[in-house]
Amino acid sequence: MPPAAEVFIQATDTDPGPRAQAVVQEAHRQLRLAALAEPHEEHTLAFAGQMHRLLTATEQTLYAAVSGAAETRLLVRARRAAAVTIGRHGDSLTAAADRAGHAGAARTLAGMLTVHLETEAAVLLPALEELPGVDLSALVGDFTTVLEGGRLEDPVVVDVREIPHGQRHPRIFTRFAGLASGESFVLVNNHDPKPLRREFEATHPGRFTWEYVQSGPEQWQIRITRVDSDD
């Protein structure tokens, strides 16, 4: 039987699935309303910041946790591509020279956000629920933290030896997503994580380095560094 804190009743407010849906849906609703508001300089700057936080929160939590899993790898790539497109249209909105241009860009962006949310609600969040090792409640908590302008914990050392095997990779990919180019963390494990390296090569090709600091026999330490390209 799971610990008391993990007990929930499906299809109720205690179920992490509906709770996650509600949190993400409200964030998108607020952004759509901001996009459609009357244009003025103060509002435009606030909207740009709000959109950036939403896209960053989604990337650092929901996408990062499942980007390495075979079941969701292509889905996350598609969602990331959509997020880039939304970001570009958001730039068009903030750069609109007159009310007519702003209104047209706002309607386009609001429609894109609606489709984006519907896809996440119908596909991404259910996939997160089904993927072994993903703590959806914790991810939504982290999502809210970033959305509100906070920062996630960024430990220099990520020791996964006491974490159940199914929960290790989501934790590691989430940590990697929070790195800026050139930043790194040291992964500590009780075996050589070769499958994890293959997942990194599949999902982040050319965007990381893998350096063994210690290679057994009882402990492995690997420094993982983000080395994003300019494109």
Backbone angles phi, psi at 220, to 5 degrees: -115, 135
User: What proportion of the chain, given as a percentage, has pLDDT over 90?
Assistant: 15
Are 119 and 193 members of one domain?
no
For residue 162, what are the domain limits?
Answer: 157-226
Q: How far is CA 85 from the centre of its chain?
A: 16
Answer whether residue 50 is part of any domain: yes
Are 112 and 28 members of one domain?
yes
pLDDT band with cut points at 50, 70 and 90 for residue 11? very low
Are 30 and 58 members of one domain?
yes
Total of domains in the chain: 2
Are 82 and 185 members of one domain?
no
pLDDT band with cut points at 50, 70 and 90 for residue 173? confident
Are 19 and 102 members of one domain?
yes
Mean pLDDT of the chain: 81
Are 120 and 61 members of one domain?
yes
Give me the pLDDT at residue 21, please.
Answer: 81
Rounded to whole angstroms, how far apart are CA atoms 15 and 9? 6
pLDDT in tens, 34-48: 777 766 666 777 788
Classify residue 181 by burial, with Cβ atoms within 10 Å: 0-12, 13-18, 19+: exposed
Q: In Å, what is the CA distance from 132 to each residue of 13, 26, 53?
A: 22, 26, 27
Are 85 and 175 members of one domain?
no
For residue 205, the tally of other CB atoms under 10 A from its CB is 8
* Stated pTM of the model: 0.67
pLDDT in tens, 52-75: 888 888 888 888 877 777 778 888
